[in-house]
Amino acid sequence: MASRSDQHPDHTTTTAQPISATRQAITPELRRWIIKQAQAGYPAPVVLQSMRDAGWDEDVAAEAMEVTLRNHLNALSVQQGQPTAVPVPEPRLDESPAQVDCGDRTVNVLLAMAQPRIVVFGGLLSPEECDALIADAAPRMARSLTVATQTGGEEINDDRTSDGMFFQRGQSPLIQRIEERIARLLHWPIENGEGLQVLHYRPGAEYKPHYDYFDPAEPGTATILKRGGQRVGTLVIYLNTPEKGGGTTFPDVFLEVAPQRGNAVFFSYERPHPSTQTLHGGAPVIAGDKWIATKWLREREFK
């Protein structure tokens, strides 16, 4: 879409008349006007400024644009044969905070990307919590499996060369505390999360680029979805800092998140489709070991 920042949006509709902030409402007329400006190529900041100039409250204008354009894009996606978008976990970053209160711990916001939705958090876990997770998981590690979408079971996948294990939700006071912290951070119910998985990558180990959602076209997906619906978000927590390599890569947007002990990367996907740009992988570990904990979030209660 071409930029029209050097011009001004069409004021022939609702936004031309100022209106009291106490009476402002997101009307169908306003939605049609916003879509018309987007289709004409006006950037969002230009449209937002036009609405402010016409007397619209900034918060009302921003909400109107966000809701209208999101619903419009979702409708277009469905028309193109994509699955319908669903609600996803979302940290509260509306005011671009440097830190987020997670109840028992304050977490730093290091990076936030809107599309795809990727957020990097600093200090989600303490060094002591990272060490404790590794110590608890180490005796129970086995070759990592992936979900077998052909059957709904599990299988060894040559693209994933790590060892791993799962903790049950609430299995220990440490797990319970971490799960409560994650739920508060991402505003998603604890019961909608799979058990925390700990993975160990030795030198040379990797997980080639993949999607975390379950492909609707695969025959085993219907069986998988019975346990809580689709996956809609992923949180990868780094339990140590490898000497070299081991970053989390997002090939579609040329992003690599460096693994740093206690930090985490979150990303969400509102529909099981490549348009979410959530293709990601674990880059090969070049030197040292890499330990991570992964939390997958489902649409509904995971049983």
Report pLDDT digits (tens) over 83-131.
Answer: 788 999 999 998 899 999 999 999 999 999 998 999 999 999 999 999 9
With cut-offs at 50, 70 and 90, classify the pLDDT of residue 62.
Answer: confident
Kindly give, in sequence order, each residue whose CB lies less than 8 Å from that of residue 167, ignoring residues fewer than 6 positions away: 136, 137, 175, 195, 196, 197, 198
* φ, ψ dihedrals at 155, nearest 5°: -155, 160
Q: Give counts: helices (H), strands (E), the chain.
A: 6, 17
Q: Distances in Å between the alpha carbon of 214 and those of 150, 163, 190, 197, 274? A: 11, 22, 20, 18, 11
30, 114: one domain: no
Report pLDDT digits (tens) over 180-208.
Answer: 999 999 999 999 999 999 999 999 999 99
d(CA 2, CA 226): 44
pLDDT at residue number 70: 74
For residue 9, tell me if it sits in a domain.
no
73, 117: one domain: no
Count Cβ atoms below 10 Å from residue 78 Cβ, excluding itself: 13
DSSP character at residue 276: G
125, 222: one domain: yes
Q: By residue range, what is the domain housing residue 30?
A: 14-79
Q: How many domains does the chain have?
A: 2
For residue 195, tell me if it sits in a domain.
yes
Average pLDDT value for the chain: 87
Q: Distances in Å between the alpha carbon of 119 and those of 23, 112, 198? A: 35, 4, 20
Q: How many CA atoms lie within 13 A of 49 on its CB side?
A: 10
For residue 94, tell me if it sits in a domain.
no
Query: How would DSSP label each residue in 26-45?
Result: --HHHHHHHHHHHHTT--HH
